[in-house]
Structure 1
Protein backbone atom coordinates (compact mmCIF):
# COMPACT_ATOMS: atom_id res chain seq x y z
CA UNK A 1 0.00 0.00 0.00
CA UNK A 2 1.17 3.51 -0.75
CA UNK A 3 1.84 5.88 2.12
CA UNK A 4 -0.48 8.59 0.85
CA UNK A 5 -3.23 8.90 -1.72
CA UNK A 6 -2.13 10.73 -4.88
CA UNK A 7 -4.10 13.91 -5.59
CA UNK A 8 -5.31 12.62 -8.98
CA UNK A 9 -7.02 9.37 -7.94
CA UNK A 10 -10.28 8.27 -9.53
CA UNK A 11 -13.30 7.59 -7.33
CA UNK A 12 -12.64 3.85 -7.58
CA UNK A 13 -8.98 4.30 -6.65
CA UNK A 14 -9.93 6.54 -3.74
CA UNK A 15 -12.44 3.97 -2.47
CA UNK A 16 -9.85 1.20 -2.78
CA UNK A 17 -7.26 3.29 -0.94
CA UNK A 18 -9.76 4.06 1.83
CA UNK A 19 -10.56 0.37 2.21
CA UNK A 20 -6.84 -0.37 2.52
CA UNK A 21 -6.57 2.26 5.26
CA UNK A 22 -9.47 0.72 7.20
CA UNK A 23 -7.94 -2.74 6.76
CA UNK A 24 -4.71 -1.31 8.11
CA UNK A 25 -6.54 -0.30 11.30
CA UNK A 26 -8.35 -3.67 11.49
CA UNK A 27 -5.09 -5.57 11.15
CA UNK A 28 -3.21 -3.29 13.55
CA UNK A 29 -0.44 -2.07 11.26
CA UNK A 30 0.76 0.64 13.64
CA UNK A 31 3.83 1.56 11.58
CA UNK A 32 1.83 2.17 8.41
CA UNK A 33 -0.86 4.07 10.33
CA UNK A 34 1.88 6.29 11.78
CA UNK A 35 3.27 7.06 8.32
CA UNK A 36 -0.20 7.73 6.88
CA UNK A 37 -1.14 10.03 9.74
CA UNK A 38 2.19 11.85 9.47
CA UNK A 39 1.40 12.31 5.76
CA UNK A 40 -1.92 13.98 6.50
CA UNK A 41 -4.46 11.17 6.76
CA UNK A 42 -7.38 12.46 8.86
CA UNK A 43 -7.12 10.67 12.21
CA UNK A 44 -10.91 10.49 12.66
CA UNK A 45 -11.58 9.07 9.19
CA UNK A 46 -14.73 6.91 9.26
CA UNK A 47 -15.98 4.16 6.97
CA UNK A 48 -19.51 3.69 5.59
CA UNK A 49 -20.68 2.24 8.93
CA UNK A 50 -19.29 5.17 10.85
CA UNK A 51 -16.44 3.13 12.30
CA UNK A 52 -13.39 5.28 12.94
CA UNK A 53 -9.87 3.98 12.58
CA UNK A 54 -9.71 3.98 16.38
CA UNK A 55 -12.91 1.93 16.66
CA UNK A 56 -11.58 -0.68 14.25
CA UNK A 57 -8.15 -0.91 15.85
CA UNK A 58 -9.50 -1.06 19.41
CA UNK A 59 -12.27 -3.55 18.60
CA UNK A 60 -9.73 -5.88 17.03
CA UNK A 61 -7.38 -5.56 20.01
CA UNK A 62 -4.48 -3.74 18.37
CA UNK A 63 -2.97 -1.93 21.33
CA UNK A 64 -0.02 -0.38 19.50
CA UNK A 65 -2.20 0.90 16.64
CA UNK A 66 -4.58 2.45 19.16
CA UNK A 67 -1.65 4.15 20.87
CA UNK A 68 -0.57 5.63 17.52
CA UNK A 69 -4.08 6.86 16.75
CA UNK A 70 -4.53 8.40 20.20
CA UNK A 71 -1.10 10.09 19.95
CA UNK A 72 -2.30 11.69 16.72
CA UNK A 73 -5.48 12.98 18.37
CA UNK A 74 -8.07 10.33 17.51
CA UNK A 75 -11.36 11.02 19.28
CA UNK A 76 -11.97 8.10 21.67
CA UNK A 77 -15.57 9.23 22.18
CA UNK A 78 -16.52 9.04 18.50
CA UNK A 79 -19.41 6.57 18.17
CA UNK A 80 -20.16 4.61 15.01
CA UNK A 81 -23.52 4.56 13.24
CA UNK A 82 -24.75 1.84 15.63
CA UNK A 83 -24.02 4.11 18.59
CA UNK A 84 -21.02 2.06 19.73
CA UNK A 85 -17.90 3.62 21.16
CA UNK A 86 -14.40 2.13 21.30
CA UNK A 87 -14.60 1.48 25.06
CA UNK A 88 -17.87 -0.43 24.59
CA UNK A 89 -16.29 -2.51 21.83
CA UNK A 90 -13.35 -3.30 24.10
CA UNK A 91 -15.72 -4.35 26.90
CA UNK A 92 -17.69 -6.52 24.48
CA UNK A 93 -14.47 -8.21 23.37
CA UNK A 94 -13.23 -8.60 26.95
CA UNK A 95 -10.11 -6.51 26.37
CA UNK A 96 -9.15 -5.04 29.76
CA UNK A 97 -5.79 -3.60 28.62
CA UNK A 98 -7.61 -1.69 25.85
CA UNK A 99 -10.15 -0.34 28.34
CA UNK A 100 -7.31 0.81 30.59
CA UNK A 101 -5.58 2.53 27.66
CA UNK A 102 -8.77 4.34 26.64
CA UNK A 103 -9.43 5.49 30.21
CA UNK A 104 -5.82 6.74 30.45
CA UNK A 105 -6.57 8.88 27.40
CA UNK A 106 -9.51 10.65 28.96
CA UNK A 107 -12.48 8.42 28.22
CA UNK A 108 -14.93 8.81 31.11
CA UNK A 109 -15.57 5.49 32.87
CA UNK A 110 -19.31 5.82 32.20
CA UNK A 111 -18.95 7.05 28.62
CA UNK A 112 -21.96 6.11 26.53
CA UNK A 113 -23.26 6.89 23.08
CA UNK A 114 -26.90 7.60 22.21
CA UNK A 115 -28.06 4.18 23.44
CA UNK A 116 -26.73 4.98 26.90
CA UNK A 117 -24.93 1.65 27.30
CA UNK A 118 -21.67 1.85 29.21
CA UNK A 119 -18.69 -0.49 29.27
CA UNK A 120 -19.88 -1.65 32.70
CA UNK A 121 -23.18 -2.76 31.19
CA UNK A 122 -21.42 -4.73 28.48
CA UNK A 123 -19.05 -6.30 30.99
CA UNK A 124 -22.06 -7.29 33.11
CA UNK A 125 -23.93 -8.73 30.12
CA UNK A 126 -21.07 -11.04 29.24
CA UNK A 127 -20.00 -11.84 32.81
CA UNK A 128 -16.58 -10.28 32.29
CA UNK A 129 -15.80 -10.03 35.97
CA UNK A 130 -12.25 -8.67 35.65
CA UNK A 131 -13.55 -5.77 33.59
CA UNK A 132 -16.59 -5.28 35.81
CA UNK A 133 -14.43 -5.10 38.95
CA UNK A 134 -11.91 -2.80 37.29
CA UNK A 135 -14.61 -0.39 36.06
CA UNK A 136 -16.27 -0.35 39.48
CA UNK A 137 -12.88 0.40 41.08
CA UNK A 138 -12.59 3.38 38.70
CA UNK A 139 -15.97 4.75 39.75
CA UNK A 140 -18.34 3.26 37.18
CA UNK A 141 -21.94 3.85 38.24
CA UNK A 142 -23.87 0.57 38.54
CA UNK A 143 -27.10 2.57 38.76
CA UNK A 144 -26.55 4.28 35.39
CA UNK A 145 -29.48 3.64 33.06
CA UNK A 146 -29.34 3.20 29.32
CA UNK A 147 -31.82 4.77 26.89
CA UNK A 148 -34.35 2.03 27.70
CA UNK A 149 -33.95 2.47 31.45
CA UNK A 150 -31.88 -0.68 32.05
CA UNK A 151 -28.97 -0.80 34.49
CA UNK A 152 -25.91 -3.06 34.45
CA UNK A 153 -27.79 -5.42 36.79
CA UNK A 154 -30.69 -5.67 34.34
CA UNK A 155 -28.21 -6.28 31.50
CA UNK A 156 -26.63 -9.13 33.49
CA UNK A 157 -30.05 -10.60 34.32
CA UNK A 158 -31.13 -10.42 30.69
CA UNK A 159 -28.08 -12.41 29.60
CA UNK A 160 -28.03 -14.79 32.56
CA UNK A 161 -24.61 -13.59 33.69
CA UNK A 162 -24.74 -15.16 37.16
CA UNK A 163 -21.53 -13.80 38.71
CA UNK A 164 -22.16 -10.29 37.44
CA UNK A 165 -25.76 -10.43 38.70
CA UNK A 166 -24.59 -11.46 42.18
CA UNK A 167 -21.93 -8.72 42.35
CA UNK A 168 -24.23 -5.98 41.10
CA UNK A 169 -27.12 -7.11 43.29
CA UNK A 170 -24.82 -6.91 46.31
CA UNK A 171 -24.04 -3.32 45.39
CA UNK A 172 -27.73 -2.51 45.00
CA UNK A 173 -28.67 -3.95 48.45
Structure 2
Protein backbone atom coordinates (compact mmCIF):
# COMPACT_ATOMS: atom_id res chain seq x y z
CA UNK A 1 0.00 0.00 0.00
CA UNK A 2 1.16 3.56 -0.69
CA UNK A 3 2.40 5.28 2.43
CA UNK A 4 0.43 8.40 3.24
CA UNK A 5 2.44 11.61 3.37
CA UNK A 6 2.06 13.18 6.77
CA UNK A 7 1.19 16.88 6.82
CA UNK A 8 2.14 19.32 9.60
CA UNK A 9 -1.56 19.76 10.45
CA UNK A 10 -2.12 16.00 10.68
CA UNK A 11 0.96 15.73 12.89
CA UNK A 12 -0.46 18.44 15.13
CA UNK A 13 -3.73 16.46 15.44
CA UNK A 14 -1.77 13.33 16.47
CA UNK A 15 0.27 15.36 18.96
CA UNK A 16 -2.87 16.84 20.54
CA UNK A 17 -4.51 13.40 20.73
CA UNK A 18 -1.41 11.86 22.31
CA UNK A 19 -0.96 14.66 24.86
CA UNK A 20 -4.65 15.03 25.67
CA UNK A 21 -4.73 18.66 24.54
CA UNK A 22 -8.45 19.01 23.88
CA UNK A 23 -8.40 22.76 23.12
CA UNK A 24 -5.78 22.35 20.39
CA UNK A 25 -7.55 19.29 18.99
CA UNK A 26 -10.86 21.20 18.72
CA UNK A 27 -9.11 24.18 17.12
CA UNK A 28 -7.50 21.96 14.48
CA UNK A 29 -10.64 19.93 13.73
CA UNK A 30 -12.85 23.04 13.57
CA UNK A 31 -10.47 24.75 11.13
CA UNK A 32 -11.85 22.54 8.35
CA UNK A 33 -8.30 22.09 7.03
CA UNK A 34 -7.65 18.64 8.44
CA UNK A 35 -9.56 15.39 8.06
CA UNK A 36 -10.74 13.82 11.35
CA UNK A 37 -9.59 10.47 9.95
CA UNK A 38 -6.18 11.64 8.79
CA UNK A 39 -3.67 8.82 9.25
CA UNK A 40 0.07 8.51 9.76
CA UNK A 41 2.23 6.40 7.46
CA UNK A 42 1.22 3.20 9.32
CA UNK A 43 -2.48 3.91 9.07
CA UNK A 44 -2.80 5.08 12.68
CA UNK A 45 -5.66 7.53 13.25
CA UNK A 46 -5.94 10.25 15.89
CA UNK A 47 -8.74 8.26 17.56
CA UNK A 48 -6.37 5.28 17.92
CA UNK A 49 -3.75 7.57 19.46
CA UNK A 50 -6.22 9.08 21.95
CA UNK A 51 -7.60 5.62 22.80
CA UNK A 52 -4.11 4.21 23.40
CA UNK A 53 -3.08 7.21 25.50
CA UNK A 54 -6.24 7.14 27.61
CA UNK A 55 -7.51 10.64 26.78
CA UNK A 56 -11.27 10.23 27.07
CA UNK A 57 -12.23 13.82 26.19
CA UNK A 58 -10.09 13.80 23.05
CA UNK A 59 -11.44 10.40 21.99
CA UNK A 60 -15.01 11.65 22.51
CA UNK A 61 -14.34 14.86 20.56
CA UNK A 62 -12.91 12.88 17.63
CA UNK A 63 -15.95 10.56 17.65
CA UNK A 64 -18.40 13.49 17.77
CA UNK A 65 -16.54 15.10 14.87
CA UNK A 66 -17.18 11.93 12.85
CA UNK A 67 -14.07 9.79 13.31
CA UNK A 68 -14.42 6.26 11.91
CA UNK A 69 -14.55 4.11 15.06
CA UNK A 70 -13.69 0.83 13.36
CA UNK A 71 -10.83 2.05 11.20
CA UNK A 72 -7.99 -0.50 11.08
CA UNK A 73 -4.30 0.32 11.17
CA UNK A 74 -1.92 -1.54 8.79
CA UNK A 75 -1.45 -4.19 11.49
CA UNK A 76 -5.22 -4.61 11.80
CA UNK A 77 -5.50 -2.89 15.20
CA UNK A 78 -8.48 -0.60 15.90
CA UNK A 79 -9.10 2.09 18.51
CA UNK A 80 -10.91 -0.57 20.59
CA UNK A 81 -7.86 -2.84 20.43
CA UNK A 82 -5.58 -0.05 21.71
CA UNK A 83 -7.93 1.07 24.50
CA UNK A 84 -8.36 -2.56 25.61
CA UNK A 85 -4.63 -3.32 25.49
CA UNK A 86 -3.88 -0.29 27.68
CA UNK A 87 -6.73 -0.95 30.12
CA UNK A 88 -8.74 2.22 29.48
CA UNK A 89 -12.19 0.91 30.38
CA UNK A 90 -13.88 4.32 30.14
CA UNK A 91 -12.74 4.64 26.51
CA UNK A 92 -13.69 1.04 25.74
CA UNK A 93 -17.22 1.79 26.96
CA UNK A 94 -17.30 5.06 24.99
CA UNK A 95 -16.28 3.25 21.79
CA UNK A 96 -19.03 0.65 22.29
CA UNK A 97 -21.56 3.44 22.85
CA UNK A 98 -20.77 4.70 19.35
CA UNK A 99 -20.73 1.35 17.56
CA UNK A 100 -17.30 -0.20 17.98
CA UNK A 101 -17.10 -3.83 16.82
CA UNK A 102 -15.24 -6.66 18.58
CA UNK A 103 -14.93 -8.57 15.29
CA UNK A 104 -11.75 -6.97 13.98
CA UNK A 105 -8.50 -8.90 14.21
CA UNK A 106 -4.85 -7.96 13.87
CA UNK A 107 -2.65 -9.73 11.33
CA UNK A 108 -1.64 -12.34 13.93
CA UNK A 109 -5.27 -12.94 14.92
CA UNK A 110 -5.26 -10.67 17.97
CA UNK A 111 -8.51 -9.12 19.21
CA UNK A 112 -9.37 -6.48 21.78
CA UNK A 113 -10.22 -9.33 24.16
CA UNK A 114 -6.95 -11.21 23.66
CA UNK A 115 -5.03 -7.95 24.20
CA UNK A 116 -6.90 -7.16 27.44
CA UNK A 117 -6.47 -10.73 28.74
CA UNK A 118 -2.76 -10.75 27.99
CA UNK A 119 -2.34 -7.53 29.99
CA UNK A 120 -4.65 -8.60 32.82
CA UNK A 121 -7.18 -5.76 32.51
CA UNK A 122 -10.13 -7.45 34.24
CA UNK A 123 -12.53 -4.46 34.06
CA UNK A 124 -11.97 -4.18 30.32
CA UNK A 125 -12.40 -7.96 29.92
CA UNK A 126 -15.77 -7.68 31.68
CA UNK A 127 -16.86 -4.81 29.39
CA UNK A 128 -15.72 -6.65 26.25
CA UNK A 129 -17.54 -9.87 27.20
CA UNK A 130 -20.72 -7.91 27.95
CA UNK A 131 -20.47 -6.40 24.48
CA UNK A 132 -20.16 -9.65 22.59
CA UNK A 133 -16.42 -10.32 22.40
CA UNK A 134 -15.79 -13.93 21.37
CA UNK A 135 -14.16 -15.85 24.21
CA UNK A 136 -13.05 -18.60 21.79
CA UNK A 137 -11.11 -16.35 19.38
CA UNK A 138 -7.60 -17.63 18.70
CA UNK A 139 -4.37 -16.03 17.57
CA UNK A 140 -2.84 -17.48 14.40
CA UNK A 141 -0.80 -19.87 16.59
CA UNK A 142 -4.01 -21.10 18.26
CA UNK A 143 -3.60 -19.23 21.56
CA UNK A 144 -6.94 -18.34 23.18
CA UNK A 145 -7.58 -15.42 25.58
CA UNK A 146 -7.44 -18.01 28.42
CA UNK A 147 -4.07 -19.26 27.20
CA UNK A 148 -2.65 -15.71 27.11
CA UNK A 149 -3.97 -14.88 30.59
CA UNK A 150 -2.51 -18.18 31.90
CA UNK A 151 0.86 -17.42 30.34
CA UNK A 152 0.99 -14.04 32.07
CA UNK A 153 -0.42 -15.23 35.41
CA UNK A 154 -3.59 -13.09 35.52
CA UNK A 155 -5.74 -15.09 37.97
CA UNK A 156 -8.71 -12.69 38.09
CA UNK A 157 -9.03 -12.66 34.30
CA UNK A 158 -8.71 -16.46 34.20
CA UNK A 159 -11.60 -16.79 36.65
CA UNK A 160 -13.70 -14.39 34.54
CA UNK A 161 -12.99 -16.31 31.34
CA UNK A 162 -13.74 -19.71 32.88
CA UNK A 163 -16.98 -18.38 34.39
CA UNK A 164 -17.93 -17.14 30.91
CA UNK A 165 -17.40 -20.53 29.27
CA UNK A 166 -13.77 -20.54 28.13
CA UNK A 167 -12.52 -24.07 27.34
CA UNK A 168 -9.96 -24.94 30.00
CA UNK A 169 -8.09 -27.48 27.83
CA UNK A 170 -8.12 -25.63 24.48
CA UNK A 171 -4.52 -26.02 23.24
CA UNK A 172 -2.33 -23.87 21.08
CA UNK A 173 -1.15 -25.29 17.70
CA UNK A 174 1.84 -26.98 19.36
CA UNK A 175 -0.66 -28.78 21.66
CA UNK A 176 0.40 -26.72 24.71
CA UNK A 177 -2.68 -26.16 26.90
CA UNK A 178 -3.17 -23.22 29.33
CA UNK A 179 -2.14 -25.48 32.26
CA UNK A 180 1.12 -26.46 30.52
CA UNK A 181 1.96 -22.81 29.87
CA UNK A 182 1.10 -21.67 33.40
CA UNK A 183 3.26 -24.50 34.80
CA UNK A 184 6.22 -23.57 32.62
CA UNK A 185 5.93 -19.92 33.69
CA UNK A 186 5.76 -20.83 37.38
CA UNK A 187 2.28 -19.43 38.05
CA UNK A 188 1.20 -21.75 40.89
CA UNK A 189 -2.04 -19.88 41.68
CA UNK A 190 -3.11 -20.13 38.04
CA UNK A 191 -2.24 -23.84 37.99
CA UNK A 192 -4.41 -24.35 41.08
CA UNK A 193 -7.40 -22.53 39.53
CA UNK A 194 -7.10 -24.40 36.21
CA UNK A 195 -6.83 -27.79 37.92
CA UNK A 196 -9.90 -27.08 40.07
CA UNK A 197 -11.78 -26.14 36.89
CA UNK A 198 -11.02 -29.44 35.18
CA UNK A 199 -7.71 -28.91 33.40
CA UNK A 200 -6.22 -32.20 32.14
CA UNK A 201 -3.20 -32.68 34.44
CA UNK A 202 -1.42 -35.00 31.97
CA UNK A 203 -2.10 -33.17 28.68
CA UNK A 204 1.19 -33.02 26.82
CA UNK A 205 2.66 -30.68 24.24
CA UNK A 206 3.78 -32.08 20.86
CA UNK A 207 7.24 -32.73 22.32
CA UNK A 208 5.71 -35.12 24.89
CA UNK A 209 6.26 -32.89 27.93
CA UNK A 210 3.47 -32.45 30.51
CA UNK A 211 2.79 -29.58 32.91
CA UNK A 212 4.53 -31.46 35.74
CA UNK A 213 7.56 -32.20 33.55
CA UNK A 214 7.88 -28.50 32.61
CA UNK A 215 7.45 -27.34 36.21
CA UNK A 216 10.07 -29.88 37.35
CA UNK A 217 12.45 -28.89 34.56
CA UNK A 218 12.20 -25.22 35.56
CA UNK A 219 12.45 -25.98 39.27
CA UNK A 220 9.02 -24.45 39.97
CA UNK A 221 8.36 -26.49 43.12
CA UNK A 222 5.20 -24.57 44.14
CA UNK A 223 3.66 -25.52 40.78
CA UNK A 224 4.79 -29.14 41.17
CA UNK A 225 3.20 -29.17 44.63
CA UNK A 226 -0.18 -28.06 43.19
CA UNK A 227 0.00 -30.58 40.34
CA UNK A 228 0.90 -33.46 42.66
CA UNK A 229 -2.38 -32.96 44.55
CA UNK A 230 -4.06 -34.22 41.36
CA UNK A 231 -1.94 -37.40 40.98
CA UNK A 232 -0.30 -36.70 37.61
CA UNK A 233 1.76 -39.29 35.75
CA UNK A 234 5.15 -39.86 37.39
CA UNK A 235 6.22 -42.56 34.94
CA UNK A 236 7.88 -42.44 31.55
CA UNK A 237 6.30 -39.80 29.27
CA UNK A 238 6.07 -39.71 25.47
CA UNK A 239 9.30 -37.69 25.45
CA UNK A 240 11.13 -40.72 26.89
CA UNK A 241 11.80 -39.12 30.27
CA UNK A 242 10.16 -38.66 33.68
CA UNK A 243 9.37 -35.61 35.79
CA UNK A 244 12.04 -36.82 38.24
CA UNK A 245 14.70 -36.72 35.50
CA UNK A 246 13.58 -33.16 34.73
CA UNK A 247 13.69 -32.13 38.40
CA UNK A 248 17.19 -33.55 38.83
CA UNK A 249 18.37 -31.60 35.77
CA UNK A 250 16.87 -28.40 37.20
CA UNK A 251 18.97 -28.78 40.35
CA UNK A 252 15.95 -28.04 42.53
CA UNK A 253 16.30 -30.10 45.73
CA UNK A 254 12.79 -29.08 46.79
CA UNK A 255 11.21 -30.38 43.55
CA UNK A 256 13.14 -33.66 43.70
CA UNK A 257 12.04 -34.15 47.31
CA UNK A 258 8.38 -33.45 46.47
CA UNK A 259 8.42 -35.96 43.60
CA UNK A 260 10.04 -38.67 45.72
CA UNK A 261 7.47 -38.10 48.47
CA UNK A 262 4.79 -38.59 45.81
CA UNK A 263 6.39 -41.97 44.99
CA UNK A 264 8.32 -41.05 41.86
CA UNK A 265 10.57 -44.01 40.99
CA UNK A 266 14.29 -43.19 41.22
CA UNK A 267 15.14 -46.55 39.56
CA UNK A 268 13.21 -45.83 36.36
CA UNK A 269 15.58 -45.15 33.43
CA UNK A 270 14.85 -42.69 30.63
CA UNK A 271 15.00 -43.55 26.90
CA UNK A 272 18.84 -43.26 27.02
CA UNK A 273 18.87 -45.74 29.90
CA UNK A 274 19.97 -43.04 32.37
CA UNK A 275 18.64 -43.06 35.91
CA UNK A 276 17.80 -39.62 37.38
CA UNK A 277 20.96 -39.94 39.53
CA UNK A 278 23.09 -40.29 36.38
CA UNK A 279 22.11 -36.77 35.30
CA UNK A 280 23.62 -34.77 38.13
CA UNK A 281 26.75 -34.20 40.20
CA UNK A 282 24.78 -32.23 42.79
CA UNK A 283 25.67 -33.89 46.11
CA UNK A 284 22.50 -32.77 47.90
CA UNK A 285 20.32 -34.32 45.21
CA UNK A 286 22.42 -37.50 45.05
CA UNK A 287 22.12 -37.89 48.82
CA UNK A 288 18.31 -37.87 48.48
CA UNK A 289 18.29 -40.25 45.50
CA UNK A 290 20.76 -42.91 46.71
CA UNK A 291 18.57 -44.44 49.49
CA UNK A 292 15.67 -44.58 47.01
CA UNK A 293 17.80 -46.42 44.44
CA UNK A 294 19.08 -48.88 47.07
CA UNK A 295 15.54 -49.51 48.34
CA UNK A 296 14.34 -50.00 44.79
CA UNK A 297 17.02 -52.59 44.10
CA UNK A 298 16.78 -54.51 47.37
Q: TM-score, normalised by structure 2?
A: 0.49
**Secondary structure of the residue that 1:108 maps to in structure 2?**
coil
Asked whether 1:24 is paired with 2:16, we answer yes
Q: Does residue 79 of structure 2 align to residue 86 of structure 1? A: yes
Structure 2 distance, partners of 1:140, 1:77, is 15
Does the alignment pair 1:61 with 2:71? Answer: no
How many Å separate the matches in 1 of 2:140 and 2:150?
17
Q: Is the 8 A contact 1:63 1:98 kept in 2?
A: yes
Using the TM superposition, give the Cα deviation of residue 17 of structure 1 relative to its aligned residue in structure 2, in angstroms: 4.0
Higher relative contact order (CA 8 A, sep 6+): 1
Matched, 1:129 2:122: yes
1:110–1:120: 8 Å Cα contact kept in structure 2?
Answer: no
Q: Helix, strand or coil for the counterpart of 2:110?
A: coil
2:76–2:104: 8 Å Cα contact kept in structure 1? no
User: 94-103 vs 18-27, which deviates more?
Assistant: 18-27
Structure 2 match to 1:144: 137
Distance of 1:172 and 1:92 partners within structure 2: 20
Q: CA RMSD in A?
A: 2.1
Aligned to 2:100: 107
Partner of 1:168: 161
Q: In 1, Cα distance between the equivalents of 2:71 and 2:108?
A: 13
User: For 2:82, what is the secondary structure of its paired residue?
Assistant: helix
Q: In the alignment, is residue 37 of structure 1 matched against residue 53 of structure 2?
A: no
Q: Which moved more, 1:73-82 or 1:38-47?
A: 73-82
Q: Which moved more, 1:79-88 or 1:53-62?
A: 79-88
Question: Structure 2: which 5+ residue stretches go unaligned?
Answer: 1-5, 168-298
Count residues with an aligned counterpart: 160
Q: Deviation string for 1:95-145 (max 9, x for gaps)?
A: 100000001110123433433322211121122111112222222221122
**Residue equivalent to 1:5:** none
Is the Cα–Cα contact under 8 Å of residues 156 and 165 in structure 1 kept in the other structure? yes
1:9-59 deviation per Cα after TM superposition (whole angstroms, max 9, x unaligned): xxxxx8444432321111122232223222221111111232111111111
Task: Pick closer, same or farther for the CA change 1:165–1:36 going to 2, 3 Å.
Answer: same
Q: Decide whether the 8 Å contact of 1:103 with 1:109 is kept in 2.
A: no
Between Structure 1 and Structure 2, whose CA radius of gyration is higher?
2
Paired with 1:143 and 1:22, the residues of 2 have a C-alpha distance of: 34
